[in-house]
Amino acid sequence: MSNEIRVRFAPSPTGNLHVGSLRTALYNYLYAKKVGGKFILRIEDTDQTRYVDGAVENLFTTLKAMGLEYDEGPEKGGEYGPYYQSKRTDIYNKYVQELLDKGKAYRCFCTPEDLDIMREERKTKGLDTRYDGRCRNLTEHKINEHLENNDKFVIRLKIPQEGEITFYDVVREKVTFPWNMVDDQVLVKSDGLPTYHLANVVDDHLMEISHVIRGEEWLSSVPKHLYLYEAFGWKPPKMCHLPLLLNSDKSKLSKRQGDVAVEDFLNKGYLPETLLNFVALLGWHAPNNEEFYTLSELEKAFSLKRINKSGSVFDVEKLNWMNGQYLRNTDLKVIGEYARKYFEKAGYHIPNEKHYLELVDIARSRIHKLDEVTEFAKPFFSELEFTDDDKEILKTESSQILFKFWIDNIIDSPELNEELINELLKRSAQELEIKGKNLYPPLRLALYGSAHGPELPTIMDILEKEKVVERFKNALK
């Protein structure tokens, strides 16, 4: 085994990428970058019953959108492939036979009905419902009898029944499990396909994975995995189990309480940069309590030693705040590109790029997510709707004089530019003696549908002269 640091992200294609899985991928990626190692992508698709069409493609698309490039894996290749577990069955079969030959695994011929009865019996006796090992010591004669009858079987790991196992985890430090708490794990299902536990260990060894960085939910599986390493005579990788992501009520983050897929967050207008920054801080405490990091800055700052033990709350309000900061502080042209699809979806077309960016700039100072951007654009594209209070403002004598003054002074002008707008605002105050709340709110209301909003030169620049005149005429009615 080489001394190179090699880490892997190994998702199952059971749906769109979860934000918890994004964090796992990110931490693996960051550690590889920090130490000059390799980041490997492996698809753990041995459970065909849970396979979801399009999940693999979604994974590739999402990782690319988030800027997490892997060094080896599907579509990139590498010397340790194939990187789909469903294409590695022959490899697993070889190692399963080795376990059977060594007496470290056994065939279990219990039917699903047998197992249901066993669980009920154990439950009535106040015992846990794990497998009771009734096939552990079948005679060779009995095994052959089952095989001659073509009875279906699974292959189970023969876990020690006494003592305990202690191992070191980078986050949890010293961890101990009594063997009597560990099930005789199924390694190969009755359809001949391996379970996660066997394929995971074999692949991590053959792909020379040095560190296994994954979610806390896999911590209880470590004894089974370490026992497999021992059975094969292999050196295990270092273990690092990440804290759970939690809802605000401290329950495990799940789609029952809201969006959890990365794609959902991106579609709502959270920036990839925000999501990466946000999930990086869910379980990792940054040096000097810094909050804002680019991906390249995270690569330099990240450390496995700074991962927390306790679960982290996925605080949507904090995410909204952070995304608002990114919207306001990222280059306007970049935000403009991200926002464009929302304008297209709403059917809002702005041929003038300068006007488009002006509008995005107005909106981004007032929103938290880009899917809100078109709400601020709506007054520029839709007929304005006025409340009764609005109408009272529009039809006051000073407002009507004001609108007529503006129509008369811009209708014949060659163009409506900022210089003319500022001049007319000044003349409105001086010649018409209309100032303050009787000047700006009525003009903004007539043009934008709200007494509060963007600066008047900006509104008029985006609307352009013809539309400005039309709206002032409507306000005169």
Give me the active site residues, please.
Answer: 255
Sequence-ordered alpha helix ranges (H) in 283-331: 295-301, 316-329
**46 and 84 Cβ atoms separated by less than 8 Å:** no
462 φ/ψ angles, rounded to the nearest 5 degrees:
-70, -40
Interatomic CA distance for residues 294 and 258, integer angstroms: 27
**In 3D, which of 99, 179, 100, 190 has the Cα closest to residue 152?**
190
Interatomic CA distance for residues 375 and 365, integer angstroms: 13
15 φ/ψ angles, rounded to the nearest 5 degrees:
155, -175
Query: Which distant-in-sequence residues (6+ apart) come within 8 Å of 268 by Cβ?
Result: 259, 369, 370, 371
Secondary structure (DSSP) of 28-56: HHHHHHHHT-EEEE-B----GGG--TTHH
Secondary structure (DSSP) of 88-152: -HHHHHHHHHHHHHHTSEEEE---HHHHHHHHHHHHHTT---S---TTTT--HHHHHHHHHTT--
Element (H, E) at 160: none
From residue 64, how far is each of 59, 146, 270 by CA, in Å?
Answer: 8, 50, 16
Interatomic CA distance for residues 14 and 469, integer angstroms: 56
Token match 């979860």: residue?
18
Interatomic CA distance for residues 93 and 112, integer angstroms: 23
Neighbours of 60 (CB within 10 A): 16
**107 and 143 Cβ atoms separated by less than 8 Å:** yes
Which token pair is 345? Answer: 């979806």
Which token pair is 55? Answer: 């999940």
Interatomic CA distance for residues 3 and 461, integer angstroms: 62
